[in-house]
Amino acid sequence: MSDKAKRQKDWLEKAGILTEALPFMRRYSGKTVVIKYGGHAMGDDRLASDFAHDVTLLKQVGIDPVVVHGGGPQIGRMLERLAIKSEFVDGLRVTDGATVEVVEMVLSGLLNKRIVTGISNAGGRAIGISGKDGDLIRARKLRRTVADPDSNIEKILDLGFVGEPDTVNPHILDALKPTDFIPVIAPLGADENGQTYNINADTAAGAVAGAVGATRLLLLTDVEGVLDKSGELIHEMTVAQAKAYMKDGTLTGGMIPKVETCIEAIEAGVEAAVILDGRIPHSMLLEMFTPDGSGTLIRGD
């Protein structure tokens, strides 16, 4: 086969893929998709480039993507460089005054603008904001209790300036929706006194998805999706099934808060939430534009 014939065959295959994707593009046209971006996908240059191109494509085919990004590893490295000690409790970084300043610097400055630049380089237009801009995320201090292993008496943990969304005002996102700008949100919020709080990116993404009535919440992770007790991927589940899996021990560790975030988003009006592997190139496109999807989809009962 000549080089020209090979190229023609290759393009015919690509045309076939586009044709198969067209019904899905129509289905999601004009709809909002909130994407939590973080983990390995954000730390790998090739995957970061793929992500920027994929988000740009979503916007160009008529879908309205909203990106909420994390940055835990990058924050950790900056704290080490500045010789600021930090500790974790139940997977959450204890955040004192010095730490929250570094968190804001890394999230709103370094990482947010890096993602915006990546989307720009991919041919899109993005605007970087934090949850503090336009009063997008009004935060409250996150309070956690833990039982003493000896006395079984519960005590309140003070995690410092770690917060959770109290209210989400999507006015700034509503204003951006008719434009060609893609919002990229750093998961920070402020309380009524203007105090800055660090918010878990999954939690922030779920709250934003509920507030804007997103058709999909996509949580990019470093795992294949939700696995059953034998280690096999669960492709789809209802909210009731997800709650049952939490009770019977199928879900453990860090997957529990991710699924809880999905459930809360669905109960707030999101059509479905998907936990998918951000380490797989173009996993978002596989989820949105193919019949089998990618990862684990959670939907209402």
Give the CATH number of the domain where residue 85 resides. Answer: 3.40.1160.10
* 179 against 147, higher pLDDT: 179
Q: Is the pLDDT of residue 53 over 80?
A: yes
Tally of domains within the chain: 1
Residue type, 168: V
* 15 against 96, higher pLDDT: 96
| Structure letter (DSSP) for residue 135 | G
Answer for the pair 66, 94: CB distance below 8 angstroms, yes or no: no
In-domain check, residue 290: yes
Q: Is residue 99 within a helix (H) or strand (E), and if so which, with residue range? A: helix 97-104
Q: Between vectors from CA 39 to CA 280 and to CA 122, what angle results, nearest 5°?
A: 65
In-domain check, residue 79: yes
Mean pLDDT of the chain: 88
Give the pLDDT band of residue 168 (cuts 50, 70, 90): very high
In-domain check, residue 154: no
In-domain check, residue 90: yes
State the Cα torsion 238-243-248-249 to the nearest 10°.
Answer: 100
Judged by average pLDDT, the poorest of 34-48, 171-185, 269-283 is: 34-48
In-domain check, residue 265: yes
For residue 154 the two structure tokens come to 């519960």
Q: How many CA atoms lie within 13 A of 265 on its CB side?
A: 35
In-domain check, residue 261: yes
Give the pLDDT band of residue 136 (cuts 50, 70, 90): very high
What percentage of the chain has pLDDT greater than the value 70? 89
Which range of residues forms the domain containing residue 95?
31-138+164-299
In-domain check, residue 223: yes
- Which residue reads 């998709």 in tokens? 33
In-domain check, residue 4: no
Q: Among 288, 296, 284, 180, which Cα is nearest to 241's?
A: 296
Residue type, 272: A
pTM, entire model: 0.90
For residue 62 the two structure tokens come to 């008529």
